[in-house]
Amino acid sequence: MYAIILIMRRTQLFTKTLRQAPADETAENAKLLIRAGFVHKEMAGVYAYLPLGLRVIEKIKTIVREEMNAIGGQELQMTALQPRELFEQTNRWDDAVVDNWFKTELKNGARLGLGLTHEEPIVDILIPYIDSYRDLPLYAYQIGTKFRNELRAKSGILRGREFLMKDMYSFARNQTEHDELYEKAAAAYVRVYDRLGIGDRTFRAKADGGYFTENYSDEYQTLSPIGEDTLFHVPGTDKWFNQEVALSQAPRLENQDGEEKPLENVEGKGIIGVNELAKFLEIPMEQTTKTMLYVADGGEVIAAAVRGGYDINEIKLRKIVGAKNLKLADEATVRKITGAEIGYAGLLNLPPEVRIIVDESCSDRTNFEMGANQTNMHAINVNWGRDLPLPEKFYDIKIARESDLDPETGQVYETKKSVEAGNIFPLESKYSDALDLYYADENGQRHSIIMGCYGIGISRTMGIIAEIFADEKGLVWPDSVAPFQVCLINVGTDENVVKFTTDLYEKLQEKGIEVLWDDRDARPGEKFADADLIGIPHRVVISPKTVERGAVEYKARTLDEITILSPDELLKKLTCI
RNA sequence: CGGGGUGUGGCGCAGUUGGUAGCGCGCCGCGUUUGGGACGCGGAGGUCGUCCGUUCAAGUCGGAUCACCCCGACCA
């Protein structure tokens, strides 16, 4: 697909290295990629790929492409300009549904979207080709540019407004067939990350489906301190969860079996927020209660309560309530329902039509606090059964925290920061049904098509690899994605040295090894520093000393050890990588 | 969207109480150098983000605007 140039002289490469990174970059990946001349920042979150950077991108693409092809993926190229009508059919056009879409218009005023995701277009493309059960199953994928109007771009090429992504879509005749396709793609993802050199720290984690699906999704998360996501892992198992969906059981509280004290209302004017409140009442934060009011699709009001210190997980709450959308109640609603200003809501004396959902973290407490449903008032020494009915059931509606337990195993989670390197979603027949893509079975009966979608961020993955492996000298690329395998360095311009180097350069080319020859008339120190900064995995040095012995000097980027090899030994070594 | 910060040669920075810009790296030339980012000499390169204003005079003061960076974004 991409005719990669095998060998290159450094004097033919237009990029140079910088000693200092631009001051406006803070992410390590961006600093190094700019210093080494791999990328150019065009504006916030928008980067151009220069010759070295493009080579890395193409290496990653090739690995992804090979693995998608291996499971039967068919590559195509969809468009960046997207028609509004297609997305109106699936109710995704509205800015209120998808808020990070770049939109533009034609001269005649017709509204267009700029490629954000391609579920609708792929279905639309397949309509003329999918008629019968004989046409299924299939995988179709593309590698292209996606545009997303992120509120804030950050972390260099990890979170851009314009980025490269592989997106694949699967089409199955039924759920069983879908599940097979889904797991086959998941296995291909494991091979991709292994080949990219990050397999040992990339894990499949359960996550929310976002605006793609009401289902859960699976994310491929690479552990890294720069990550924006927090993973919850059950130690010793392969159970990983994105924080947003991690089930959680709060650690039990001590001293909850004391005598029930009399219920009291305490005035705490303007005291809002559990931290401030706990300090004011001189009670542990765990004895406070955070109650939030939500309004579900149908107008039903939900009062959700968690132990102080926790936050409500709207994803969990939404699923329990069975609502598609859940909105925080506005001021007027809060006032109407609780009779108080925002900040003093509790579960006491709520109107009967309010549905109460209480988190399990509240279940074992005695003499706890909650808002009194009167402005400036907080109720203390509240007790289940006496002051308000013990709920029939306690739920898990909180955002999991460090030191929480996995309810299924009772183990304490370990938490890790990570970057999402890829994701896979079961889509059911949401898009195919909405756009009228069906198939006929053996009896001519019409059936829904079950879809899945599978993304890998190509440019983000480059950023992850850059970030993870870099050391104090610069980038360190794994062999599989390095812009060149070998950096050839001649020390000095002695005729014999140049002749020896030229011969070796040509021999390496014959062997199909990618070489960057630093043929500049520069001092050795500068060449070594550049080779390290650029991060080429194998360094070969030729100097008057080595020529005298008819040998070369070899060093791996990741090791300090230098070995003297004959040209044949070197060729043998490099052919094996 | 809210708060904070920064915009001065390609990159990193300095620029006092307003007087028409300087340093390091990089670049060009010559020479000496050549195993971990050399040294000497001589050069080139900036209408100080943009616009408006104050002033005899603005990189410097005032206002607006744009861009970039960081933090936060209903938390009952």
**A221-240 confidence digits (pLDDT tens):** 999 988 889 999 999 999 99
**Together in a domain, A283 and A179:** no
A562 forms beta bridges with A555
CA A565 / C1′ B63 distance in Å: 70
Number of domains in chain A: 3
In angstroms, the CA A299 to CA A373 distance is 21
Residue A244, domain member (yes or no): no
pLDDT digits (tens, 9 = 90+) for A484-512: 999 999 999 999 999 999 999 999 999 99
Q: Report the pLDDT value the prediction gives residue A214, as an integer from 0 to 100.
A: 65
Q: Report the pLDDT value the prediction gives residue A256, as an integer from 0 to 100.
A: 85
A9 forms beta bridges with A517
A310: nt with nearest C1' to CA: B75
pTM: 0.94
pLDDT at residue A211 is higher than 70: no
Contact by Cβ (8 Å): A158, A39: no
A474: nt with nearest C1' to CA: B37
For nucleotide B35, give the residue with the nearest CA to its C1': A524
CA A206 / C1′ B13 distance in Å: 47
ipTM beyond 0.95? no
**Together in a domain, A501 and A455:** no
**Together in a domain, A508 and A441:** no
Residue A514, domain member (yes or no): yes
For residue A468, give the nearest of A32, A20, A60 by alpha carbon: A32
**Together in a domain, A59 and A112:** yes
Residue A249, domain member (yes or no): no
A293: nt with nearest C1' to CA: B76
User: The domain that contains A336 carries what CATH number?
Assistant: 3.90.960.10
CA A114 / C1′ B25 distance in Å: 41
Q: Report the pLDDT value the prediction gives residue A272, as an integer from 0 to 100.
A: 75
Residue A410, domain member (yes or no): no
Measured at the alpha carbon of residue A146, what is the angle toward residues A140 and A151, in degrees to the nearest 5? 140
Task: Give residue A274's pLDDT band: very low, low, confident or very high (50, 70, 90).
Answer: confident
CA A449 / C1′ B48 distance in Å: 63
CA A320 / C1′ B68 distance in Å: 43
Residue A543, domain member (yes or no): yes
Chain B positions within 7 A of any protein Cβ atom are: 1, 5-6, 10-13, 24-27, 33-38, 67-76
pLDDT at residue A258 is higher than 90: no
**Together in a domain, A276 and A370:** yes
The rounded percent of chain A whose pLDDT value lies above 70 is 99
A327: nt with nearest C1' to CA: B74
A304: nt with nearest C1' to CA: B76
Q: Residues 6 or more apart from A394 whose CB is under 8 A from it?
A: A358, A359, A360, A362, A363
How would you write A382-441 as a 3-class SS string? Answer: ECECCCECCCCCCECCECCCCCCECCCCCCECEEEEEEEEEEEEEEECHHHHHCCCEEEC
In angstroms, the CA A86 to CA A97 distance is 15
**To which residue do tokens 């003093």 refer?**
A344
For nucleotide B10, give the residue with the nearest CA to its C1': A18
**Together in a domain, A320 and A184:** no
Mean pLDDT of A44-58: 95
Residue that terminates a domain, selected from A365, A382, A399: A382
**Together in a domain, A87 and A124:** yes
For residue A289, give the nearest of A387, A358, A208 by alpha carbon: A358
**Together in a domain, A436 and A311:** no
CA A26 / C1′ B49 distance in Å: 21
Instruction: Report chain A's mean pLDDT, rounded to a whole number.
Output: 93
Cα torsion for A46, A50, A54, A56, to the nearest 10°?
-100
pLDDT at residue A216 is higher than 90: no
Contact by Cβ (8 Å): A235, A227: no
Task: Give residue A215's pLDDT band: very low, low, confident or very high (50, 70, 90).
Answer: confident
CA A17 / C1′ B22 distance in Å: 25
**Can you tell me whether residue A211 is helix, strand or coil?**
coil
For nucleotide B70, give the residue with the nearest CA to its C1': A26
**Together in a domain, A195 and A275:** no
Q: How far is CA A57 from the centre of its chain?
A: 18
A342: nt with nearest C1' to CA: B76
CA A527 / C1′ B37 distance in Å: 8
In angstroms, the CA A524 to CA A570 distance is 21
**Together in a domain, A169 and A51:** yes
Residue that terminates a domain, selected from A382, A406, A434: A382
A504 forms beta bridges with none
Residue that terminates a domain, selected from A435, A467, A499: A467
**Together in a domain, A460 and A514:** no
User: The domain that contains A186 carries what CATH number?
Assistant: 3.30.930.10
A75 forms beta bridges with A141
Mean pLDDT of A286-314: 90
Residue A416, domain member (yes or no): no
**Together in a domain, A459 and A491:** no
Q: Report the pLDDT value the prediction gives residue A1, as an integer from 0 to 100.
A: 63
pLDDT digits (tens, 9 = 90+) for A431-480: 999 999 999 999 999 999 999 999 999 999 999 999 999 999 999 999 99
Measured at the alpha carbon of residue A210, what is the angle toward residues A205 and A216, in degrees to the nearest 5? 45
Q: Would you state the structure tokens that stand for residue A186, as one six-digit string?
A: 């998941």
Measured at the alpha carbon of residue A484, what is the angle toward residues A479 and A490, in degrees to the nearest 5? 120
Residue A220, domain member (yes or no): no
Contact by Cβ (8 Å): A358, A365: no
Q: Residues 6 or more apart from A284 whose CB is under 8 A from it?
A: A278
Per the document, the length of chain A is 577
Q: Residues 6 or more apart from A405 whose CB is under 8 A from it?
A: A248, A249, A250, A251, A411, A412, A413
Task: Give residue A527's pLDDT band: very low, low, confident or very high (50, 70, 90).
Answer: very high
User: The domain that contains A507 carries what CATH number?
Assistant: 3.40.50.800
Residue A196, classified by CB atoms within 10 Å of its CB into exposed (0-12), middle (13-18) or buried (19+), is buried
CA A522 / C1′ B39 distance in Å: 14
Contact by Cβ (8 Å): A454, A169: yes
For nucleotide B38, give the residue with the nearest CA to its C1': A523
End-to-end alpha carbon distance in chain A = 22
pLDDT at residue A213 is higher than 70: no
Taking the CB of residue A188, how many other CB atoms lie within 10 A of it? 23
Task: Give residue A162's pLDDT band: very low, low, confident or very high (50, 70, 90).
Answer: very high
Q: Report the pLDDT value the prediction gives residue A481, as an integer from 0 to 100.
A: 98
A333: nt with nearest C1' to CA: B76
Angle formed by the axes of helices A495-510 and A567-575, to 10°?
A: 30
Q: Can you give the residue range of the structural domain that contains A159?
A: 18-200+426-467
**Alpha-carbon torsion (A196, A197, A199, A202), positive or negative:** negative
**Can you tell me whether residue A522 is helix, strand or coil?**
coil
CA A36 / C1′ B10 distance in Å: 14
CA A42 / C1′ B70 distance in Å: 19
In angstroms, the CA A37 to CA A21 distance is 11
In angstroms, the CA A291 to CA A311 distance is 10
Residue A456, domain member (yes or no): yes
Measured at the alpha carbon of residue A558, what is the angle toward residues A556 and A562, in degrees to the nearest 5? 40
A523: nt with nearest C1' to CA: B34
